[in-house]
Amino acid sequence: MPNKPSFSDLAYKNKKKITRRQRFLEKMDEILPWEPLLEPILSKYPKSRRGRRPVPPKVMLRIYLMQQWYGLSDPAMEESLYDIESMRRFAGVSMQRIPDESTICKFRHFLLRHQITEEVFRLAKKCLSEHGLTVSRGKIIEPRLRRVRQKADMGKSTER
């Protein structure tokens, strides 16, 4: 039996305005190469043995990136996932599966401990620059994507 849409899904689908946050996250979802970004994580990510299954690494990576783009602490990221539908959709979590702040913190420390953060940001930056974009860190209100000037354009004079 296929999943029935929730009231939240229907409301989100039929809302009148697409927010800047939603546009930003949709663009990032479209542009970023998720498989190469996950590659350095997957070999070291904990496997489920007993007890509670770990949150999928793709979900945790997406949460971590949003945390960096919006400048959020671990508790603020958890709260944002509860409050903001576009963030939940980008992360790929439902209201019942939102990771708590300690899980978010453990994943961030996992990335640091295994020295994965630099590789992830290098790959993301490279991909964005190939699309002529860069991310400037924002607050919860809105990080922005900006077009970067191409090197060929930089040498041109703007005099009239």
1-40: per-residue pLDDT in tens?
456 766 666 666 666 788 899 999 999 999 999 999 999 9
CB 90 within 8 A of CB 28: yes
Cα–Cα distances (Å) from 55 to 46, 71, 107, in that order, read 10, 22, 10
Residue 39: DSSP 8-state: H
Q: What is residue 18's predicted lDDT score, i.e. its pLDDT?
A: 87
Q: Is 94 left (phi over 0), alpha (psi -120 to 50) or beta?
A: beta
Nearest residue to 56 (alpha-carbon basis) of 97, 117, 5 = 97
**135: β partners:** 145
**Where along the chain do its domains lie?**
18-42+55-140
Confidence of residue 90 (pLDDT cuts 50, 70, 90): very high
Cβ–Cβ contacts within 10 Å for residue 118, how many? 11
